Structure 1
Amino acid sequence: MRNAAVLLARYQVRSLRRLFEEFERDILLPILLGEIALHNIGALEHGDESDRLAADEAESDSDEVHMSRLRPCNAYSIAAATGLPRETVRRKIGRLVDLGWIRKQQNGHLYLTPRALKHFGTLLCSRDLPEFLETADRVRNLRHDRGRADRDKA
């Protein structure tokens, strides 16, 4: 188990370092963006809608079409989800808006932008997912080897 924990810790630290750099050395920004994304697309995760959303975004420039497929959230719900002070969340949301990763409507509703969906979706699929799957395989192999060693002892 210790070796598996080391493999997982190594993966997490590398991932956190990449996020730290990707978000101008502000580790709260990817946490908040992630929470907003999960709120927005959470209702879509159990169907084919999330795949259709990504495909539609490649073809559509309409913010209204994009936002109509997402479940809105606001600074209050994000503060509650993260446990961060509402003022901190409000300030960081302003930065995410400036970066073009989220859109804030007049009523305070927050939405992941098509630009963020495309950018981070590409990164997750090209870099993070393969590394995560490789780490999972290595952990699985450790468990398999351990199980075999235990059977050989018996």
Structure 2
Amino acid sequence: MRPGTLDPGAKILRAAAVLLARYQIRSLRRLFEEFERDILLPILLGEIALHNLGALENGVNAGIFDDMPSLMVKLRPCNAYSIAAATGLPRETVRRKIARLAELGWIMRQDNGHLFLTEQAVQHFGDLLGSRDLPELLETADRLRRFIED
């Protein structure tokens, strides 16, 4: 191998990194716009979603979102403190952002401080993931697979 040239494994890794970065940047840009140009909002909504849906992890199946009222009853609660701990963000920042997510209708906050995704958020972002993000991710994965196979 000539000096300064990459071995085939390094070329594959570099190409994979570029393809994944391209996908990730497009996804981040969309989230940035979708959430009023505040990148912390989707991060916090995602953490709340992961906490809420964590109780369902072992029973995930293709029809999990078919019965929304039943799903909403099964969600595991979280609070601003647990979200601040999960993200490493200051609690006051998390509290302000949670208030904004509630104003947007993406989460509901109970009197005891428990946070839950709203049915509106599950429906909206589930539709977006299925129509936009998942197909793009799968296309990126296919491109990676074809590149590696060649």
TM, length-normalised to structure 1? 0.85
1:55 aligns with 2:55: no
Which one scores higher on RCO, CA 8 angstroms, separation ≥ 6? 1
**DSSP 3-state at the match of 2:54:** helix
Which shifted more, 136-145 or 72-81? Answer: 136-145
User: Superposed, which structure 2 residues align to 1:22-33 within 5 Å?
Assistant: 22-33=34-45
Richer in helix (by share): 1
1:95 aligns with 2:107: no
- Contact persistence 1:102–1:116 (CA under 8 A): yes
In 1: Cα distance, 2:71 partner to 2:110 partner: 13
In 2: Cα distance, 1:31 partner to 1:87 partner: 15
Q: How much does 1:90 deviate?
A: 0.3
1:34 aligns with 2:46: yes
User: Superposed, which structure 2 residues align to 1:5-154 within 5 Å?
Assistant: 5-48=17-60, 51-52=63-64, 54-57=65-68, 60=69, 67-145=72-150
In the TM superposition, structure 1's runs of 4+ consecutive aligned residues that sit over 2 Å from their partners are 48-52, 65-68
TM, length-normalised to structure 2? 0.87
- Contact persistence 2:55–2:74 (CA under 8 A): no
| Per-residue Cα deviation, 1:9-47 (whole angstroms, up to 9, x for no partner) | 000000000000000000000000000000000121221
Q: Which runs of 5+ in 2 are unaligned?
A: 1-12
- Contact persistence 1:29–1:92 (CA under 8 A): yes
Q: Which runs of 5+ in 1 are unaligned?
A: 146-154
In 2: Cα distance, 1:22 partner to 1:144 partner: 36
In 2: Cα distance, 1:118 partner to 1:41 partner: 14
Q: Which amino acid aligns with 1:18?
A: R
Q: Which amino acid aligns with 1:21?
A: E
In 1: Cα distance, 2:14 partner to 2:141 partner: 14
Q: How much does 1:49 deviate?
A: 6.4
Number of positions where the alignment pairs a residue of Structure 1 with one of Structure 2: 138
- Contact persistence 1:41–1:50 (CA under 8 A): no
**DSSP 3-state at the match of 1:120:** helix
Aligned to 1:149: none
